[in-house]
């Protein structure tokens, strides 16, 4: 027998290859099961008694200790019980959902959001991560840049919705996250936060254009509980509202392009 041979038909290289195959198969099995800690079991459209989890099955629940001191169990062991204000557009399983109310408020489709903790995200120094400039007094708009404060906010219909009154910044990654906007009385007269990534600044006009929603729809932007900080869940609701507007702000947006 040659060097490394165990028998006339098996050698060390062959055994090593088989061990690698078994290890790699086990790794795939483990990773595929672990990625089912979120989003499973799926909800069956045929019966609430059917457990949709596929192969392999979901892993046993594991409890994670969060930075806030709370704990989170994954898989959570329960199904999201929020009322689904939508119905299937067709009778066959897997049909797209058709909203029954205002999808931007109801969190349908592009407006959907996860139920993250209703507490602020924190910086490494345990400060609320996203705050207005009136709180982050050690931050300011650079003198060579144009501040959006005082600019008019224009909706997708070209109508003025309000005026930018304050900037909300990310303390961990210094950037503008939201434009605090005082709405005109015709559009609710309240103060709302507009995500910066949905805004386009027209410097020559002194305007902020928001193509996601109409001016009248600013009145229904989800509110925040505190005037000086925002929770993770509130951020998701606000972003979901504007994201939903890209599909549902007008009836035409929900239709095929061609």
pLDDT in tens, 108-153: 888 998 888 888 998 988 899 999 999 999 998 888 889 999 999 9
Cα Rg, the chain, nearest whole Å: 26
Residue 139 token pair: 């931050």
pLDDT in tens, 180-209: 999 999 998 999 999 999 999 998 899 999
Rounded distance between C-alpha atoms, residue 237 and residue 154, angstroms: 21
Residue 24 token pair: 């790699």
pLDDT attached to residue 76 = 81
pLDDT attached to residue 1 = 57
Cβ within 8 Å of residue 189, ≥6 positions away: 183
- Output the average pLDDT for the chain: 89
- The residues that bridge with 226 in the sheet, in sequence order, are none
The low-confidence residues of the chain, meaning pLDDT below 50, are none
**Cα dist from 18 to 7, 12, 23, 31, 223, whole Å:** 16, 10, 9, 20, 59
Domain 130-254 falls in which CATH fold?
Photosynthetic Reaction Center; Chain H, domain 2 (3.90.50)
State the Cα torsion 102-105-111-117 to the nearest 10°: -160
pLDDT attached to residue 29 = 95
**Cα dist from 250 to 145, 150, 213, 254, whole Å:** 34, 28, 8, 7
pLDDT attached to residue 241 = 96
pLDDT attached to residue 38 = 85
Alpha helices in the chain (DSSP H): 12-34, 103-106, 232-248
DSSP-based helix, strand, coil % in the chain, nearest 5: 25, 25, 55
What are the residue ranges spanned by the domains of the chain?
130-254
Q: Report the predicted TM-score, pTM, of the whole model to 2 decimal places.
A: 0.81
């Amino acid at each position: 027998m040659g060097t490394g041979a165990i028998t006339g038909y098996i050698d060390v290289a062959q055994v090593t290859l088989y061990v690698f195959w078994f290890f790699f198969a086990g790794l795939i099995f483990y990773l595929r099961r672990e990625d089912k800690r979120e989003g499973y079991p799926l909800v069956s459209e045929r019966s609430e008694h059917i457990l949709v989890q596929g192969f392999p099955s979901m892993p046993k629940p594991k409890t994670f200790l969060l930075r806030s001191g709370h704990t989170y169990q994954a898989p959570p062991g329960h199904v999201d019980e929020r009322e689904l204000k939508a119905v299937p557009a067709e009778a066959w399983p897997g049909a797209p959902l058709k909203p029954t109310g205002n999808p931007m408020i109801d969190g349908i489709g592009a407006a959907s959001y996860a139920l993250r903790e209703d507490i602020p995200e924190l910086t490494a120094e345990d400060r609320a991560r996203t705050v207005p400039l009136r709180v982050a007094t050690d931050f300011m708009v650079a003198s060579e840049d144009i501040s959006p404060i005082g600019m008019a906010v224009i909706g997708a219909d070209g109508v003025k919705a309000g005026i930018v009154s304050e900037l909300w910044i990310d303390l961990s990654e210094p950037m503008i996250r939201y434009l605090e906007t005082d709405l005109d009385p015709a559009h609710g007269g309240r103060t709302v936060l507009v995500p910066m990534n949905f805004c386009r600044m027209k410097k020559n006009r002194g305007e902020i254009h928001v193509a996601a929603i109409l001016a009248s729809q600013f009145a229904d932007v989800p509110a925040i509980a505190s005037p000086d900080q925002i929770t993770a869940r509130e951020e998701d609701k606000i972003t979901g509202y504007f994201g939903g507007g890209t599909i549902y702000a007008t009836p035409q947006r929900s239709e095929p392009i061609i």
